[in-house]
Structure 1
Amino acid sequence: MQRRQFLKKLALSSAAMGLWTSGTPFVFSVKSAHAAQGKVLINIFQRGGCDGLNAVVPFGEDRYYELRPTIAIARPDSGESGAALNLDGFFGLHPSMSGLHSMFQQGQLAIMPATHYPDGSRSHFDSQHFIESGQRVRSNSGWMNRHLATHSHTADVRALSVGSELVHAMRGDISVSTLSNFNSLGFRVDENEEAELLARLSKVYEHPASELANHQLLHSYGQQMLEDVNILKDIGEQPYSVENGANYPNSRFGQELRMLAQIIKSDVGLELANINIGGWDTHSNQGGATGRQASRLQDLSDGLTAFYTDLGARSINVATVVGTEFGRTSQENGSRGTDHGYASNWMVIGGGVSGGIYGQWPGLNEAQLHHGRYLAMATDYRDIYADVLSGFLGNHQIAEVLPSHVHNPIGLF
Structure 2
Amino acid sequence: MSHHISRRQFVRFGASGLGALALTPSAFGYLFQRYARAAEAQVAQPRQRLVVIFQRGAMDGLSAVAPYGDEHYRQSRPLLAVAPPKPGDPAAALDLDGRFGLSPHLAPLLPLFQSGRLAVVHGVGSPDSTRSHFDAQDYMESATPGRKGTPDGWLNRYLQAAPLQKASPFRAVSFTQLTPRTLQGKADVIALDDLQAFELRAGGATGKVTSGFEEMYAQAAADALRHTGQDTLEAIRFLKRANPSRFQPEHGATYPNSPLGRSLRQIAQLIKANVGLEVAFTDCGGWDTHANQGAPGQPAGQLNRLLRDFGSAIAAFVQDLGAEQMRNTLVLTMTEFGRTVRQNGAGGTDHGRASCMFVVGGTVHGGQVYGDVPKLAPANLADGRDLPVTTDFRTVLAEVVVRHLGLAQAQPVFPGYTLQPAKFIGVLARRG
TM-score, normalization: structure 1? 0.87
Shift of 1:238: 4.6
SS in structure 1 of the partner of residue 105 of structure 2: coil
SS in structure 1 of the partner of residue 120 of structure 2: strand
Q: Is the 8 A contact 1:84 1:94 kept in 2?
A: yes
SS in structure 2 of the partner of residue 65 of structure 1: helix
Q: Is the 8 A contact 2:173 2:281 kept in 1?
A: yes
Shift of 1:357: 1.3
SS in structure 2 of the partner of residue 293 of structure 1: helix
Q: Is the 8 A contact 1:205 1:223 kept in 2?
A: no
Query: 1:190/1:146 Cα in 2 relative to 1: closer, same or farther (>3 Å)?
Result: closer
Aligned to 2:313: 303
> Do structure 1's residue 365 and structure 2's residue 377 form an aligned pair?
yes
Aligned to 1:108: 117
Which of the residues 243, 250, 254 maps onto 1:247? Answer: 254
Shift of 1:334: 0.3
Which of the residues 361, 364, 371 maps onto 1:353? Answer: 364
Gaps of 5+ in 1: 1-11, 21-27, 210-214
1:260-339 map, 5 Å: 260-289=267-296, 290=298, 291-312=301-322, 313-339=324-350
Which of the residues 65, 85, 91 maps onto 2:100? Answer: 91
Shift of 1:187: 7.2
Which letter maps to 1:100? L
Q: Is the 8 A contact 2:136 2:337 kept in 1?
A: yes
Query: 1:189/1:220 Cα in 2 relative to 1: closer, same or farther (>3 Å)?
Result: closer
Write the distance in 2 (CA, Å) between the matches of 1:347 and 1:202.
54
SS in structure 1 of the partner of residue 318 of structure 2: helix
Shift of 1:79: 5.6
Q: Is the 8 A contact 1:52 1:344 kept in 2?
A: yes
1:26-105 map, 5 Å: 31-32=39-40, 34-35=42-43, 36=45, 38-77=47-86, 80-105=89-114
Q: Is the 8 A contact 1:74 1:82 kept in 2?
A: yes
Q: Is the 8 A contact 2:202 2:236 kept in 1?
A: no
Write the distance in 1 (CA, Å) between the matches of 2:331 and 2:278.
12
1:182-261 map, 5 Å: 182-185=195-198, 195-200=207-212, 215-236=222-243, 238-261=245-268
Write the distance in 2 (CA, Å) between the matches of 1:237 and 1:278.
26
Aligned to 2:395: 383
Shift of 1:347: 1.4
> Do structure 1's residue 392 and structure 2's residue 404 form an aligned pair?
yes
Write the distance in 2 (CA, Å) between the matches of 1:295 and 1:124.
21
Query: 1:100/1:37 Cα in 2 relative to 1: closer, same or farther (>3 Å)?
Result: same
Write the distance in 2 (CA, Å) between the matches of 1:202 and 1:124.
52
Which letter maps to 1:58? P
TM-score, normalization: structure 2? 0.83
SS in structure 2 of the partner of residue 220 of structure 1: helix
Question: Alpha-carbon deviations, 1:20-66, whole Å to 9, x = none?
Answer: 9xxxxxxx998347443621101100000101100000002111100
Shift of 1:71: 1.2
Which letter maps to 1:316? R
Q: Is the 8 A contact 1:330 1:373 kept in 2?
A: yes
Aligned to 1:411: 426
Write the distance in 2 (CA, Å) between the matches of 1:120 and 1:271.
32
SS in structure 2 of the partner of residue 250 of structure 1: coil
Write the distance in 2 (CA, Å) between the matches of 1:314 and 1:237.
16
CA RMSD of aligned residues (A): 2.9
Which of the residues 157, 166, 188 maps onto 2:179? Answer: 166
Q: Is the 8 A contact 1:320 1:349 kept in 2?
A: yes
Q: Is the 8 A contact 2:119 2:370 kept in 1?
A: yes
Shift of 1:179: 1.4
Percent of aligned positions with the same letter in both sequences? 38
Q: Is the 8 A contact 2:244 2:272 kept in 1?
A: no
Which letter maps to 2:48? K
Write the distance in 2 (CA, Å) between the matches of 1:202 and 1:230.
20
Query: 1:173/1:277 Cα in 2 relative to 1: closer, same or farther (>3 Å)?
Result: same
| Aligned residue-pair number | 390
